[in-house]
Amino acid sequence: MAKRHQLYDVTIIGGGPVGLFTAYYCGMREMKTKMIEFLPQLGGKVSYFYPEKMIHDIGGIPHISGEKLVQQLIEQAKTFDPTIVLNQQVSELIKQEDGTFVLTSQSGEKHHTRTIILATGFGTLKTVKLDVENADDYEGKSLHYSVDKIDYFKDKHVLISGGGNSAVDWANALEPVARKVTVVHRRDEFGGLECNITAMRNSSASIMTPYVVTSLAGDNGRLSSVTVSRLGTSETEEIVADELLVNHGFDINLGPIKNWGLEIENGTIKVDGNMKTNIDGIFAAGDVVNYKHKLKLIAGGFAEGPTAVNSAKAYLEPEKDLVALYSTHHHRELLRKHKKLAKA
């Protein structure tokens, strides 16, 4: 349990991949660090929605599952022993006369910090549900909004509704194990990386555009078929389906953060190239930020986090020159910490 009113150099709000790597880099800068996560476990959206999704866009790692990536990030983040607080949503921010901040969670617990780094992802995520009659009857049985175990879909007829990154990625991941994959999208063009879209189009998956799901048929929560309609026409088609995976995105909600006086644009926080917000002492990184030429990849967030840390360090110690810092500067300390973690 975090100590009340203990002053930290930096408090990171958000325990997803970017928040975890940011916590590690805070330790590199010898900053007293606290991390506060809304969910009861670390890992954020990746752990919650994509534990088995393969991630391919991190330098030096050809491919890694979301679950494995989070495990390694947690181990790395704990290297310098940050204080970790789970299952708390920060609701209130007060800036003191001395420039420090007091954060209050919905549980009433207070957190005292000199700087803040927001790494909340898109805030509180709520999946966009399928707007079809009786959809609730199938949810959690044969209608899914995420994939926990790929093997669950082995030898089944799977229909995927959606056309963004997630729909394309799951089509490619499930095609080798499912009996049949059908992808239904309301537009002719798909979003996502070109190579993944090409792989999906070149696979055995059936692609139906521009179509939408209009009705479900089955019994006791188990699907037998899905009816889809071609947009702009009266044409419909009934498709055999054992499982329906819906990837229609998320409703983004920054929650109480949107009331803190931060400059917000399109549901995200505006920052400059140093990850500074419009409030002195508050920085941000990851999906929650927007700025010109932002790279919307985990790898991009892994660069933004250390940038935010360096800016926070400079804010706390303006009289010192900001010098380049590498892990080799802490070589002996890192070896000692990793040995300690391995024994734990």
pLDDT tens-digit map of 110-126: 999 999 999 998 766 67
Count, residues in the chain: 344
Question: CATH 3.50.50.60 occupies which residues in the chain?
Answer: 7-125+251-343, 129-248
Residue 338 has pLDDT above 60, yes or no: no
pLDDT tens-digit map of 48-107: 667 778 888 888 899 898 889 999 999 999 999 999 999 999 999 999 999 999 999 999
| Residue 77 CB burial class (10 angstroms; 0-12, 13-18, ≥19) | buried
The domain defined by 7-125+251-343 carries CATH number 3.10.129.10: no
pLDDT tens-digit map of 266-300: 889 999 999 999 999 999 999 999 999 998 888 99
- Per DSSP bridges, beta strands 143-144 and 243-246 are parallel
How far is the first Cα of the chain from the last one, in angstroms, to the nearest whole number? Answer: 19
- Rounded to the nearest 10 degrees, the angle between the axes of helix 298-316 and helix 17-28 is 40
Helices (runs of H) and strands (runs of E) counted in the chain: 7, 22
Class of domain 129-248: alpha beta
| Residue 50 CB burial class (10 angstroms; 0-12, 13-18, ≥19) | buried
The structure's pTM equals 0.75
Six token digits for residue 262: 């931060």
Q: What does residue 310 show for φ and ψ, rounded to 5 degrees?
A: -60, -40
